[in-house]
Amino acid sequence: MRVGVVTEIKADEYRVALTPAGARELVREGHDVLVERGAGEGSAFADASYEAVGARLATADEVWAGSELVLKVKEPLPAEYPRLRNDLILFTYLHLAASKELTEALAASGAACVAYETVETAGGSLPLLAPMSEIAGRLASQAGAYFLEKPLGGRGLLLAGVAGVSPGKVLVIGGGIVGYNAAVIALGLGGNVTILERSIDRMRHLDEILHGRVSLVMSSTLQVEESVRDADVIIGAVLIPGAKAPKLITREMLGEMKAGAVFCDVAIDQGGCAETSRPTTHSEPVYTVDGIIHYCVANMPGAVPITSTKALTNATLPYVEAIAEHGLAEAVARDPALARGVNVLGGKITYAAVAEAHGLPCTELADVLPV
Ligand SMILES: NC(=O)c1ccc[n+]([C@@H]2O[C@H](COP(=O)([O-])OP(=O)(O)OC[C@H]3O[C@@H](n4cnc5c(N)ncnc54)[C@H](O)[C@@H]3O)[C@@H](O)[C@H]2O)c1
């Protein structure tokens, strides 16, 4: 198959959808890999490293027009809509429930659009979202420790403490992938860590893998209220699948918290878990409300494109290889997890939650993609 990789044109996006290591696997399997010149630069992959493994360098026009499967990181922007065609497979993050305009543009193109974020295994895990949650969780603790410094507006506290001085207290709300990774780094930085979680099974698992080094406490509105008062860093990491994040921290509670405490709301991409959360960017990551620093960057992994690109492509490559080897219809028939990734195909919406979000009809995948 002819597999194309284009440069991301979205502002502040430095990731690329395929590493040279991934390109090499595809070339070895007999595929023709086209990479737009400069596509890997933001992630520190030079053009020469793609050429060295047998990929061909090309212009954006050549990649879009000459590929059967185009790999991207972010959704196509309006400037890219005219590039989509009905014999193209597009594999990327789409987040279509958030944009009717994009959904309609993809449907109008007739292209087969497979979304990373809805690839879902039988156990309900999201293998192409997980690596970004791991990175965001790890970054959250780094950001929390950093913004505690006085010149940055924080309390003026060293998270690790020193001999004779207590460490700072880190409260992680939500012990899923983000929460676990935040806790691991917060522990490594020397913090005193508590995780609030709603699932007892998940807490048992965390207790086992963290060897009792964190306090695991059942989450309730009363517990959240009590715990936030005492924390120096609070990390919002809750998720209720398919729903907006619950507003666990109210404006009133901020007044009771320690002045200069740092609140990292990782769940901001689902609306955030405090009443006072609003999305920020890497160029202006924080703002202060009632003395509490809010860090609410909606695309945290974008800050570390070298790590994010490698982590993302580690996870996507097996699916890319399956599509390239078998074609989409057979790859989807072989793997129900990949089938769940198909959002739009042949002008129809095939993912129920996207159709529902926009009040549009949903078509069974099997009706538009017969094997
Ligand atoms: N800002 C970013 O750049 C970025 C990057 C990756 C992920 N995220 C977001 O981070 C959030 C967490 O993602 P995840 O992958 O860890 O999800 P996850 O499903 O692995 O974990 C969520 C956890 O929250 C728990 N939970 C739900 N309600 C709770 C409550 N009231 N109190 C305590 N715990 C509660 C669940 O039991 C679950 O264990 C999501 O909103 C995700 O979209 C943001």
User: How do residues 119-175 score in pLDDT, each as one tens digit?
Assistant: 999 999 999 999 999 999 999 999 999 999 999 999 999 999 999 999 999 999 999
**Which atom of ligand 1 is found nearest the CA of 136?**
5
292 Cα: distance to centroid of ligand 1 (angstroms): 21
The mean pLDDT of 20-29, rounded to a whole number, is: 98
Side-chain-side CA neighbours of residue 301 (13 Å): 23
Between the CA atoms of 263, 267, 273 and 278, what dihedral angle is there, to the nearest 10 degrees?
70
Residue for token pair 């004779």: 164
Tokens in use for 162? 């020193």
Give the orientation angle of helix 177-188 with respect to helix 200-209, to 10 degrees.
30
Catalytic annotation present for 12 = no
pLDDT band at 270 (very low <50, low <70, confident <90, very high): confident
What three-state secondary structure class fits 161?
Answer: coil
**Residues facing 280 on adjacent strands:** 297
Residues 335 and 95: their CA atoms lie apart, in Å, by 21
Residues 278 and 268: their CA atoms lie apart, in Å, by 7
DSSP secondary structure letter of residue 168: P
**pLDDT tens-digit series, residues 93-116:** 998 988 999 999 999 999 999 999
Give the orientation angle of helix 130-147 with respect to helix 305-326, to 10 degrees.
180
Residue for token pair 């395929």: 18
Average pLDDT, the chain: 96
Catalytic annotation present for 326 = no
Beta strand ranges found along the chain (DSSP E): 2-5, 32-36, 56-58, 69-71, 89-92, 112-115, 169-173, 192-197, 215-218, 233-236, 262-265, 286-289, 292-295, 342-345, 348-349
130 Cα: distance to centroid of ligand 1 (angstroms): 11
Residues 350 and 105: their CA atoms lie apart, in Å, by 15
| Beta-carbon contacts of residue 82 (< 8 Å; ≥ 6 apart) | none
**Are the C-beta atoms of residues 35 and 57 closer than 8 Å to each other?**
yes
**Residues facing 175 on adjacent strands:** none
Comparing CA positions, the residue from 5, 10, 8, 19 lying closest to residue 307 is 19
Q: What is the pLDDT of residue 370?
A: 80
**Are the C-beta atoms of residues 106 and 88 closer than 8 Å to each other?**
no
Residues 278 and 82: their CA atoms lie apart, in Å, by 33
Side-chain-side CA neighbours of residue 118 (13 Å): 20
**Are the C-beta atoms of residues 170 and 145 closer than 8 Å to each other?**
no
pTM of the predicted protein model:
0.92
Q: What is the pLDDT of residue 98?
A: 82
Pocket mutation for ligand 1, best pick of 126, 178, 234, 248 (most atoms within 8 Å of C-beta)? 178
Q: What is the pLDDT of residue 260?
A: 98
Q: What is the pLDDT of residue 296?
A: 97
pLDDT band at 224 (very low <50, low <70, confident <90, very high): very high
Residues 367 and 355: their CA atoms lie apart, in Å, by 16
**Which atom of ligand 1 is found nearest the CA of 179?**
16
pLDDT band at 69 (very low <50, low <70, confident <90, very high): very high
Residues 31, 269, 294, 335: which is the catalytic one?
269
pLDDT band at 242 (very low <50, low <70, confident <90, very high): low
pLDDT at 179 exceeding the cut of 80: yes
Q: What is the pLDDT of residue 12?
A: 84
62 Cα: distance to centroid of ligand 1 (angstroms): 40
